[in-house]
Amino acid sequence: MAQRLFFGVDVGGTFTKIALVDEKSRLLAKSKFSSEGFSNKAFFAKTLRANILSILSEHKLALRHLKGIGIGLPGPVDFDKGIVLSLTNIKGWNRFPLSAYLRRYFSVPVFIDNDANCMGLAESRLGAARGTSYALCLTLGTGVGGALILDRQIYRSSYFLSAEVGHIPVVLDGPKCSCGGRGCLERFVGNRALLSAARRVFKKDMSLEEVSCLAAKGDLRALKIWRDAGNIIGLAVSGVLNVFNPEIVVIGGGVAEAGDALFASIRRTVTCHAMEQLKKYVKVKKAALGNDAGVLGAALLAKEQVGIRV
């Protein structure tokens, strides 16, 4: 049987990552390139095509073996129609039919989804949630993204805004959020908020990696930053658990690298606020696939949409 290949694409505001996988979900190659200039859609398409062809050539693989492309985007998309609904980091893509546009360049099916959904799909199939049917996956970074896996399928909802855990209100009349609401989780545990908290505590600019290192050494000020973040994440997670009853909560992204100080606090808060029956069996785990989760999930998206399951 001829080899069947799939590319995953993870579009970020600064860099775009691509990965090549085969029909058995094995990662064959990966690369990344600058996202600069992607407001020009033709430039994006040509850059993506050039990088895909380069990887195929490097591995002596033919374009005819490519069966689909999946793309994860940092914003809401209409999955059914392949339309980007809005992107904050790349101008000019709102309401754009990206799937149909890119198909002209590749002559294979192109599927798009929110990047957190791609991360959740990868962790469900290959990572920390493998073997489960119901999972909540969070990615903690500049913002807070979420994906719900229900009966092994991504739950997208009527308006493609499901699992926006970062926009759960956790403080009444809290600071205004970019979503238009107030007191959202993201306003307290997104990178910017955590860096501001570190600046207040240490009276100087610090990276989150430095805060994590201090916490690992037992610095009480750093530990408090992560414990406070874990408390508020755990509160939001508890609400989702009580509604959807997943078997596992998987947490990834840069903030998850804080480790035990963060996760112990999340688990403790979940134990306090989740329903009694849930806290007995639900697990809270760190994501297993790291920085590859989004791009692998995008490739799996394409693979499953053309009918090949893990």
Active site positions, annotated: 115
Task: Name the DSSP class of 132.
Answer: -
The answer to whether the CB of 241 falls within 8 A of the CB of 142 is: no
Look at residues 298, 306, 307 and name the one whose alpha carbon lies nearest to residue 9: 298
The residues near 220 (Cβ < 8 Å, ≥ 6 apart) are: none
DSSP helix, strand, coil percent of the chain (3-state; round to 5): 45, 20, 35
CA 76 to chain centre: 12
How far is CA 209 from each of CA 121, 204, 219, rounded to the nearest angstrom? Answer: 27, 14, 14
Neighbours of 2 (CB within 10 A): 8
The phi-psi region of residue 85 (left if phi > 0; otherwise alpha if psi is between -120 and 50; otherwise beta) is alpha
Give the count of alpha carbons within 13 A of 208, CB side only: 23
Q: What is the C-alpha to C-alpha distance for residues 175 and 184, in angstroms, rounded to an integer?
A: 8
The answer to whether the CB of 136 falls within 8 A of the CB of 251 is: no
The residues near 141 (Cβ < 8 Å, ≥ 6 apart) are: 190, 191, 253, 254, 255
